Chain A
Amino acid sequence: DGGITQSPKYLFRKEGQNVTLSCEQNLNHDAMYWYRQDPGQGLRLIYYSQIVNDFQKGDIAEGYSVSREKKESFPLTVTSAQKNPTAFYLCASSVLYPGEAFFGQGTRLTVV
């Protein structure tokens, strides 16, 4: 089936540890996005990428890092520098234009 796969669905980590969230798509989309969803704040853009080996910071990139070595994959690392990492993380992909985005099921990260 075509789509976006995020793994794992739930993730628990100790404070101070880095953690990497996986996002894979088989839609042949050029663009990929990472969002953080918090109650009452909607979806805030962390990073986005329009092409392999290039990506741009979104509105809340501090404490996060990404890579785009393959078109299909856009992993997100939540580093220990992220002050409040507990959240629901959503990955999306789209064609460049017009740009309707398709979303994965999300990863709920809890840092204890």
Chain B
Amino acid sequence: AQSVSQHNHHVILSEAASLELGCNYSYGGTVNLFWYVQYPGQHLQLLLKYFSGDPLVKGIKGFEAEFIKSKFSFNLRKPSVQWSDTAEYFCAVKQTTDSWGKLQFGAGTQVVVTP
């Protein structure tokens, strides 16, 4: 069964620090990849997505992610975080060769940015 692994469950960092959140998936076929964010008290929002083409994708709010196919990874990065980036971040993977297209999520990473 496909699984999605996020390496860090909790990350605490100071404003202006750089952020990198790891995501690995186990499925060997073609996939679509996503990062979602859930700010306190708000619903899940899409940060960025990868379907094909350039493996380095840019999303909203200065976030970017790099798809490394050989490593089955899709790590999220932000060069300089702000207090408003405090949120929970979820990696998600959707199989494209499976006709039912299950969209599966990792366990999430809680990020706390201190002033």
Contacts and interface: CB of A to CB of B under 8 A. Distances in A.
Contacts of B69: none
B29 to A, nearest CB: 13
A31 B101 contact: yes
14 contacts: A40-B108, A42-B108, A43-B90, A43-B92, A44-B105, A45-B103, A45-B105, A50-B99, A50-B100, A56-B102, A92-B103, A103-B36, A104-B43, A106-B43
A40 B107 contact: yes
Contacts, number: 67
Closest A-B pairs by Cβ, 3 of them: A42-B107, A43-B105, A103-B44
Nearest to B95: A99
Interface of B: 1, 6, 9, 32, 34, 36, 43-46, 49, 51, 90, 92, 94, 96, 99-108
Contacts of B105: 35, 42-45
Nearest to A49: B100
A104 B90 CA distance: 16
Nearest to B88: A42
Nearest to B44: A103
A97 B46 contact: no
A8 B103 CA distance: 24
